[in-house]
Structure 1
Amino acid sequence: MYYLLDGDNFFASVEVLYAPHLRHKELVVLSSADGNVVARSKLAKKNGVKMGVPYFQIKDEFEARGGVAHASNFPLYARSSVQVACAIESLLGPCDRYSIDESFGVSDGLEITIDKHGGHEAYARFIKNTVQQQTGIAISVGVGATKTLAKAAAYGAKKYPATKGVVAIESRERLEKLLKLMPVGNVWGIGRKFEEKLLAMGISTAWDLKSSDQARMRKVFGVTLQRVIAELNGEVCFGLEFEAPAQKQMVSSKTFTERVMDQDIIRGHLSQHAEKLASKLRNRKAQAKRLTIFIQNSPFDKSAPFRYLSRTAEFTTHSNDTSKFHAVIHQLLIAIWQNGLRYSKCGVMVSELVELKHKQLGLFDEKEPRNKVELMNILDKINAKQACGVSFASTFLKPPAIPSAKLSPNYTGSWSEVPKVH
């Protein structure tokens, strides 16, 4: 049986863990530059705060009723995620860490232990209670014969309070009851476009999808949806993945706290994103063939029509050289810049990634000069050891970043921010 272990309101739960006075308050966590709601406490959900809503749209009403907003503190969430995953793996063995707040596991080799606890549901509840005791984070647990059914069970565990956070699909009756209650759009792997097409075909629940003709659905939607249907019928198509699949692209972007009209400041931000991506590529021993930049104004800005401007450059050979990235960004920005717009966001994307061990040079391609490779390695070593680090000159064109006033302390990553007990 597959287990899905999902942190409840994970970002908000981590914030409350280190600030217990927020336990009975409405809490939301915001995206970069305090833009959109990316996580909500149970009370915020109950009071109708929608996921993804721009915070400025709800700010006055939300804060008037005592709501609290925190900026995303990803280093804190990442460390809590590792703690939760380690607690889970101590009880379930190596897991597929699917996302920052979700892990898949299997019960193979645990049959005797599970029987001693009284079955899968009882053991899932034991895991849930133990993880919360050890980490302070509440999780929901779904158990099913496949990953898709485990996700469906976890949906039931979160949706229906009577389950107390645990659902194990161990009988046909429970499977049928749950899938008939589950909207097809909540099935793992069903996006908005697929959902619209399925609804138009009269398939509105997970049970309808399970009962559909697999050959016909494969012709209409492709092999991936056919595999989802097979998994709903108990056939394993998706195993555990202990190593993350190789990335095809990487993106670094930022929403500004204030609108920007100065090209040099935008160039500084883009340069910083380029440095970050180049460093990540070198860290993963990979290189990119294409680099794309984009800039945009706010879709909520009524003073001008919305503009999303982007341009892509292709390197003659794959690269992770920061200086090359900087040179390309300068050219691309000049090509797409429009005066008079109040820009709200910019970003850089690298694509067509290849691992160095798989890189093939063309007939006329040349290897990176050895001194350039060594320079990049020295930069990475310095930046890993020193908080201030070393950057290329163009990154200093942008104003220094000012931490959000809503950012919680780095409780577990900085001695100066560890809570003090008096």
Structure 2
Amino acid sequence: MIGLVDCNNFYVSCERVFNPKLRRRAVGILSNNDGCIVARSNELKALGVEMGTPAHHVRHLVERGEVILYSSNYELYGDMSHRVQSVLEEETAGVEPYSIDEMFVRMDGFTPEALLAHAKTLRWKVRRYTGIPVCVGVAATHTLAKLANRIAKKHPGYPGVCILHADSDEARHLLEQIDVGDVWGIGRRLNERLQVMGIKTAWDLREADAKRLRRKFSVNVERTALELRGIRCLEMNDLHEPKQRIMTSRSFGRPTQQLSDLQGAIRHHAQRGAEKLRQQKSLARAVMVFLKTNRFRPDLPQYCPSVVVELERPTQDTREILHAAQEALRKIYRTNYAYKKAGVMMLDLTDQHRQQLSLMDTPQTEEERQRSQKLMATMDALNEKMGKGTVRLGLPEKNAPWHLRCANRSPRYTTHWDELMRAYTDEGAARRDGMTKTEFNRPQTG
């Protein structure tokens, strides 16, 4: 059996772990540069605030104290996700993260009674050890486990845990109530085409002719239908196949015309892209760099260039990728434009263990290759142990325009020594540490 552990309102839950006064309050988490709401507490959902709502549309609710908005604190969220995963690894035979707040776990070898008890124990231990509330869905396949988790989260008859047996009457009753568009892997356009065919619910998709689905749509839709029947078509390792392209980009906190600012942004994105290459054990043959002005400002000159630079040889070495990216930037940079976004994309990726050099590639000696691998491995190990960005090429300028705007970010409680939670036994101790009476009485955030 396969379990899916899904953290409830994950970003908001992370904030509440360290600031309990946020509980039962309407809380929202903002996207990069504090643009729009990307995570909502149940209380915020009850106010009718939709996902993706621009922050300025709820400013009046913030001013009245009805809503609290925080900037995204991805470093904190990533660390809390790792802690949830650590708990699951201690309690299950295997864990496969699917996203920052979802993880598949192996749950084989249990009797039905023991399986339910184990799922409840997982839910309790994650909450007890991390403070993060989760729901657990268990079934024979990944697709059914996703639906079981949805039921555990939304159906009042399954408070936090749902075990779905594919051939049971219970499964049929539940799948008949779930719209086919809510099935994992069925997007909006595919949903519309299935609806035209009379496939309106998850049960309809399960009962449809699998071969016809393959001819009409794709092998993925056929697999989805089979998975709904309890026939496993996906393995955990299939969920994270190496990407064919890797892009790192970001909108700037404020526009800039300066080449030095753009060089800092490209340097940051190139290094992050190289790290992702090494994580999936790939090599890149080419690098694309692009710039964008603000298309929502028609009163300003517009310029959105991009250029691809071929690398001397397939590589994952940050130094070679960074050199190519900076060369690309110099080719496309023009003065007198207010740039709002920049990015770097790794192209023509290949498996590092199946590398094939072409006649046009610059050869590299075995000694040079090994030195490059050791250097990159050392950099990655230090950054993994000491924190992201501990070792990097070039120092970023403080308050550079390309840095994210995050005026309402909470402290990074678990990853920065200077942002650890502080506890005071009395007001006098707080004053000795430089806090005023007002600050002492304010909800504690760091």
Q: Partner amino acid for 1:109?
A: G
Structure 1: gaps spanning 5 or more residues: none
Q: Partner amino acid for 2:15?
A: E
Look up the match of 1:27: 27
- SS of the residue 1:248 aligns to: coil
Aligned equivalents of 2:232 and 2:65: distance in 1?
A: 48
Superposed CA deviations along residues 370-414 of structure 1, whole A, max 9, x for unmatched, are 569747965885774696645348x66992747723121111112
Aligned equivalents of 1:197 and 1:243: distance in 2?
A: 25
Q: Partner amino acid for 1:9?
A: N
Whether 1:163 and 2:148 are equivalent positions in the alignment is no
1:276 offset after TM fit, Å?
2.6
Aligned equivalents of 2:280 and 2:212: distance in 1?
A: 41
Aligned equivalents of 1:211 and 1:279: distance in 2?
A: 44
| 1:242 to 1:220, Cα distance in 2 relative to 1, 3 A | closer
Alignment of 1:320-335 (within 5 A): 320-333=316-329
Aligned equivalents of 2:378 and 2:97: distance in 1?
A: 28
Contact 1:267 1:398 in 2 (8 A): no
Aligned residues: 416
Q: Partner amino acid for 1:82?
A: H
Give the counterpart of 2:143 among 136, 144, 148.
Answer: 148
Look up the match of 1:199: 195
- Percent sequence identity is 31
1:45 offset after TM fit, Å?
1.8
Range 330-339 or range 20-29, more displaced? 330-339
Q: Partner amino acid for 2:4?
A: L
1:309 offset after TM fit, Å?
4.1
- SS of the residue 1:287 aligns to: strand
Structure 2: gaps spanning 5 or more residues: 425-446
Aligned equivalents of 1:80 and 1:176: distance in 2?
A: 36
Aligned equivalents of 2:160 and 2:392: distance in 1?
A: 48
Whether 1:135 and 2:130 are equivalent positions in the alignment is yes
1:264 offset after TM fit, Å?
4.0
Q: Partner amino acid for 1:410?
A: R
Look up the match of 2:242: 246
Contact 1:5 1:140 in 2 (8 A): yes
Aligned equivalents of 1:418 and 1:396: distance in 2?
A: 25
Range 370-379 or range 318-327, more displaced? 370-379
Range 372-381 or range 274-283, more displaced? 372-381
Superposed CA deviations along residues 233-287 of structure 1, whole A, max 9, x for unmatched, are 1111112339943333222211212123334422331122112323443566542
Q: Partner amino acid for 1:413?
A: T
Superposed CA deviations along residues 294-334 of structure 1, whole A, max 9, x for unmatched, are 22334544535987543333334212344543443345445
Superposed CA deviations along residues 108-147 of structure 1, whole A, max 9, x for unmatched, are 2233xx53x4xx4444223222321222111111122211
Look up the match of 1:72: 72
1:345 offset after TM fit, Å?
1.9
Contact 2:71 2:409 in 1 (8 A): yes
Range 350-359 or range 337-346, more displaced? 337-346
Look up the match of 2:226: 230
Whether 1:81 and 2:59 are equivalent positions in the alignment is no
Whether 1:219 and 2:218 are equivalent positions in the alignment is no
Alignment of 1:35-74 (within 5 A): 35-74=35-74
Alignment of 1:179-194 (within 5 A): 179-194=175-190
Look up the match of 2:435: none
Contact 1:143 1:167 in 2 (8 A): yes
Superposition TM-score, scaled by structure 1 size: 0.86
Look up the match of 1:126: 121
Contact 1:267 1:397 in 2 (8 A): no
Whether 1:108 and 2:108 are equivalent positions in the alignment is yes
Aligned equivalents of 1:256 and 1:21: distance in 2?
A: 32
| 1:96 to 1:372, Cα distance in 2 relative to 1, 3 A | closer
Look up the match of 2:98: 98
Q: Partner amino acid for 2:143?
A: T
Give the RMSD, CA atoms, in angstroms: 3.1
Look up the match of 1:256: 252
Q: Partner amino acid for 1:415?
A: W
Look up the match of 2:299: 303
Contact 1:105 1:240 in 2 (8 A): no
Aligned equivalents of 2:57 and 2:297: distance in 1?
A: 13
Superposition TM-score, scaled by structure 2 size: 0.82
Aligned equivalents of 2:290 and 2:398: distance in 1?
A: 18
Contact 1:28 1:40 in 2 (8 A): yes
Contact 1:322 1:376 in 2 (8 A): no
Look up the match of 1:358: 354
1:353 offset after TM fit, Å?
2.3
